[in-house]
Amino acid sequence: MFIERELNNGQRTGAIEVICGSMFSGKTEELIRRIKRARIARQKIEIFKPAIDVRYSATEVVSHDENAIRSTPVENSANILLLASGIDVVGIDEAQFFDKNLVEVVIQLANQGVRVIVAGLDMDFRGQPFGPIPGLMAVADYVTKVHAVCVRCGNIAQFSHRLTEKEQVVLLGERDLYEALCRKCYNKANKGK
């Protein structure tokens, strides 16, 4: 877990924390928990989310358990740099929907002494690495992989199985379009596709 360190001159060191996993695994819940702890510590925080994600709210990050925290929707990762001036802790939700430049943005923030907490899907519905998440995991100081429960057998689930035949990579949805599956059930569900 993240432990804030101090340099000899009293300035915080930056860090990159990545929370990843499948849908319904608690990524956003963990992001909100860490941000709330930073707020208790009286740190200046800002949470960003992609502007396209309006499933629960246009201006809040909301978990599937309906926990919510105010956020700033942005069109691209460059906007995060513009809006994060003077912030101690930056949270970024649904990072898989951002452009590849998010990796450089996060590195720049961490190099400036900012604690950056990023949450996102590590794989798309096809089981392929999703957006900038692999790059973020590579440069992260800390990576937390969370798991859901397979809705078919009850084992640990790491796949987001799409319940529709739509092929576009980005398809916003909830339990109406996706289910969490373990490897065995995911492979069985996709057999013959």
Domain with residue 71: its CATH number is: 3.40.50.300
The pLDDT of 166-171, averaged and rounded, is 71
CA 65/CA 117 separation, integer angstroms: 20
CA 77/CA 100 separation, integer angstroms: 8
Non-local (6+) Cβ contacts of 94 within 8 A are 28, 49, 50, 53, 119, 120, 121
Regarding pTM above 0.85, the answer is: yes
CA 192/CA 188 separation, integer angstroms: 9
Flag whether 99 is in a domain.
Answer: yes
The residue assigned the tokens 């963990």 is 30
Flag whether 159 is in a domain.
Answer: no
CA angle 86, 90, 100 (to 5 degrees): 115
Q: Between 165 and 192, name the one with better pLDDT.
A: 165
Flag whether 105 is in a domain.
Answer: yes
The per-residue pLDDT for 13 is 82
Give the active site residue among 94, 165, 167, 179: 94
**Strand pairing report for 115-121 and 89-92:** parallel
The per-residue pLDDT for 55 is 63
Number of domains in the chain: 1
Flag whether 27 is in a domain.
Answer: yes
Flag whether 140 is in a domain.
Answer: yes
Flag whether 163 is in a domain.
Answer: no
Flag whether 178 is in a domain.
Answer: no
The pLDDT of 161-181, averaged and rounded, is 78
Q: What is the mean pLDDT of the chain?
A: 88
User: In this structure, are residues 112 and 106 in contact, taking their beta carbons and an 8 Å threshold?
Assistant: no
Q: The domain containing residue 121 runs over which residues?
A: 15-146
Would you call 94 a catalytic residue per the annotation?
yes
Flag whether 37 is in a domain.
Answer: yes
User: In this structure, are residues 35 and 145 in contact, taking their beta carbons and an 8 Å threshold?
Assistant: no
